[in-house]
Amino acid sequence: MYITARERILLEILVHASYDVSHVQLAEATSVSVRTIQRDLKGLQRTVRFFGLNLIRNKDQTISLQGNKEELLNYLQSMETTEYTTEERQGLLLVRLLNSKEPIKLFSLGSELGVTTATVSADLDKTSRWLETYSLEIIRKRGYGIEIQGLETNKRRAMSGVLSSHLTEEAIYEAVYDNEVQGQIIERLLNIVDTAMIKDVLLTVRHVKEENFPHMVDQSLIALIVHATLVIERLRQGEPIYMDQDQLEALEQMEEYTLAVKLGRALEEAFSIDLPPEEIGYFVMHLRGARISGSNEIPFEEVNAELIGRIKQLIRGVEEELNVKLYDPSLVQDLFAHLKPALYRIRQEMKIANPLLDRLKQNYEELFNVTKRQAEIIFSPLLIPEEEIGFIVLHFGSTLERSKRSVELSALVICPSGIGSAKMLASRIEQEFPEVNSITNVSMFELGSYQMNNYDLIISTVKMENERNAFHVSPVLTKEEVRVIRLFIDSLQVERPTDIEEFPEYIERSPFDDIAELSAMMKAFLQSIHLFSSQAVWQGIEKSMQWLEGKGYVTRWQDVALTLRNREKVGGLAIPDTGLVLYHARSESAVTPFFLLIDLEEEMKLMSMADKKEMVERIILMVAPASLERYKLEFISYVSTLLIGSKQQTDIFQKGNQQEVKQMLEKECRDYLTMFIQKGEGPS
């Protein structure tokens, strides 16, 4: 079966998603428009049907895969991809040209990448603009071929840049420690830098790092490892290394020079090579440009008063524009630790990737724009690129989102993107989950030193396999990710304080709090909708309860089933003249309200609410937590009235499939929420 590169990305997203994915998210992931995604879905539907799956397209512009995904997942993992995404192809193109000593024919490049010469030509137009930032130029001559011209220094920086942007922390970790390589682009790039050598370089660099620069973040460590590996391979091939003599002399006067010498000597001993002075100079540049996390020993007020002054001006400017309070000594220190190497990188035209940039600009638009505007004023005439602005926004965002901690759970946070991302994620965890009072931040390379079973919760920005309490999230922690983690935390049956005097900040609630909570509850309620079939009533109820426990909606399914049995003893539950029976209750073991349907394989006679026997075809299960605010209970009551609402609604409950019932309830939820907002009422 032929699957394009974009289809591969879409399928990988959908097959791993535990929630409905929006058209916008798919468009962002594949760098195309929403309209293109909508066109692609028809072909995608045909592809998934081949694997016995159904592509569910919801009215709210979200998509999900329905069915057993195992066969599709196995196929995606085993397939040999013959087509690259645009970004992958351009990355390979750059590496090929930067690594070549001679011009390469256009036709040869097209053959290697499996595309037409016209596509290669278009890719060259785009990559040439990227190369300009490194003062490099693509030369194209008919009959001569294609080559990159410029200083060797700049070629080395560009090669390191393109490799580091594709060889992520997760990819390096998998290749070095798991002996697995996920993705053909990664496999081809790792052929440029030998995996075995990367592992040896990593061990050598880490040994020096632990003693001399322990707070370097994974992203900078990867760049340094890639650079050092390329150096060793070039030296072994007898290639000369160049650097302007004046630049080298300036680098030798910098404070990082001593560390660079230590690193060089360690590599010389490990690989039996002789590093020239120029290479020590390149190490100085990497160390000066490295991003440092968690350093608490920098006497920043004394070392760089001018930079501290500008940082304080930046904070004041953002505070005034947004009318918020940001200033905190730890924020100043964190920004200093980030900006000191960042400003050096900018002056040296050293590029840095920020994979969170697009999401930050979208989710924190006002904060991003204000920070960018203030940075342009404060640091003028130096222009701060948007990638660095994004990291500054992460620091500001983490400060804005700090909230009261509780005293219940411990969390291990694995976030290799740096202190800004780690703090942002930690603060989001604190804000959303007051039960978490202990947070430990680690990188992927430090993971082996920690016992994961010592933590109640593991939250990681890279995938963790075979850990029940591990959650793969983004550093900004989306609402859907919050919902999934919330269900898990609640399933731990943690006892929460109920005395309102312990939480005085909760006394005054805004109506917006109620709107947000009601909306979140509705979303979880709609996602719980599922259709089962069963030969008998209680066989179906117990099967569905076990399914709910696996999804995190209930903590002990046996308790909920017992509550429903006790409710059945009180009186009939069948709804007259509908063929429906409604099992409903409130239970301590219910985490959030849910709604299930069970079709009986044969009609059964059950006692009705009118104390008569009724023929029943479908069971409806609707359970809510024992403790639930009145305005939330009112919504649950409203849903129960829909069962005997209009004839059209009753018909859907009677005969509709899972999707039809869900679509009808989605509309009712939107209408109810609109009414709730217009009333502007909170809990009475």
* Cα(327)–Cα(70) distance, integer angstroms: 50
Taking the C-alpha atoms of 246, 250, 253 and 259 in order, what is their torsion angle to the nearest 10 degrees? Answer: -100
CA distances from 135 to 90, 91, 96, 387, 563 (A): 18, 18, 18, 19, 72
* Cα(119)–Cα(104) distance, integer angstroms: 16
The two structure tokens encoding residue 595: 């709604």
With 50 as the cut, is the pLDDT of residue 94 above it? yes
* Cα(595)–Cα(527) distance, integer angstroms: 9
Query: Residue range 291-318: average pLDDT?
Result: 61
* Cα(426)–Cα(423) distance, integer angstroms: 5
CA dihedral for 119, 120, 121, 127, sign (positive or negative): positive
Let me know if the fold of 158-289 is the same as that of 300-400.
yes
* Angle ∠(308,312,318) on CA atoms, nearest 5: 145
594-607 and 530-534 as β-strands: parallel, antiparallel, unpaired? parallel
Higher local confidence (pLDDT), 234 or 545: 545
Query: Residue range 297-308: average pLDDT?
Result: 48
CB-based contact 356:390 (threshold 8 Å): yes
Q: pLDDT tens digits for 556-604?
A: 888 899 989 888 887 788 888 888 999 988 888 888 899 999 999 888 9
Residue in 491, 650, 624 with CA at minimum distance from that of residue 564: 624
Give the end-to-end CA distance of the chain in Å, rounded to a whole number: 59
* Cα(215)–Cα(218) distance, integer angstroms: 9
pLDDT bin (cut points 50, 70, 90) of residue 372 is very high
Q: pLDDT tens digits for 11-43?
A: 878 887 767 888 887 876 665 677 778 877 877
Q: pLDDT tens digits for 565-575?
A: 888 887 788 88
Three-class SS state of 93 = helix
Q: pLDDT tens digits for 469-478?
A: 678 887 767 7
Question: Which stretches of 99-168 are DSSP H helices?
Answer: 106-113, 117-132, 152-166
* Cα(85)–Cα(92) distance, integer angstroms: 11
With 50 as the cut, is the pLDDT of residue 339 above it? yes
Higher local confidence (pLDDT), 615 or 19: 615
* Angle ∠(446,452,453) on CA atoms, nearest 5: 160
Ramachandran quadrant class, 57 (left: phi over 0; alpha: psi -120 to 50; beta: rest)? beta
CATH number for the segment(s) 409-491: 3.40.50.2300
Q: pLDDT tens digits for 271-288?
A: 888 888 888 887 887 777
Show me where the domains of the chain are located. 5-78, 86-150, 158-289, 300-400, 409-491, 511-679
Ramachandran quadrant class, 478 (left: phi over 0; alpha: psi -120 to 50; beta: rest)? beta
| Per-residue model confidence (pLDDT) at position 146 | 92
With 50 as the cut, is the pLDDT of residue 115 above it? yes
* Cis previous bond, 381, omega within 30: yes
Taking the C-alpha atoms of 156, 159, 162 and 164 in order, what is their torsion angle to the nearest 10 degrees? Answer: -70
Residue in 516, 485, 464, 555 with CA at minimum distance from that of residue 18: 485
DSSP letter assigned to residue 87 = H
CATH number for the segment(s) 5-78: 1.10.10.10
Query: Residue range 186-200: average pLDDT?
Result: 66
* Cα(549)–Cα(592) distance, integer angstroms: 12
Query: Residue range 318-327: average pLDDT?
Result: 83
The two structure tokens encoding residue 154: 């700049």
With 70 as the cut, is the pLDDT of residue 81 above it? no
Ramachandran quadrant class, 466 (left: phi over 0; alpha: psi -120 to 50; beta: rest)? left
With 80 as the cut, is the pLDDT of residue 93 above it? yes
Cβ-count burial 377-407 (b if 16+ within 10 Å, e if not): ebbeeeebbebbbbbbbbbbbbbbbeeebbe
Phi/psi for 305 (5° steps) reads -60, -35
Question: What's the count of helices (H) and strands (E) in the chain, helices before strands?
Answer: 29, 14
CATH number for the segment(s) 86-150: 1.10.10.10
pLDDT bin (cut points 50, 70, 90) of residue 193 is low
CATH number for the segment(s) 300-400: 1.10.1790.10
For residue 74, give every residue at least 6 positions away whose Cβ sits within 8 Å of its Cβ, in sequence order, or none: none
CA distances from 434 to 407, 431, 470 (A): 8, 6, 18
Helix (H), strand (E) at residue 574: strand 574-575
Look at domain 511-679 and name its CATH class.
alpha beta
Residue 464: how many CB atoms within 10 A of its CB?
17
Query: Residue range 45-65: average pLDDT?
Result: 84
CATH number for the segment(s) 158-289: 1.10.1790
For residue 292, give every residue at least 6 positions away whose Cβ sits within 8 Å of its Cβ, in sequence order, or none: 213, 215, 216, 217, 220, 337, 338, 341, 419
CB-based contact 173:460 (threshold 8 Å): no
Residue in 553, 554, 537, 525 with CA at minimum distance from that of residue 619: 537
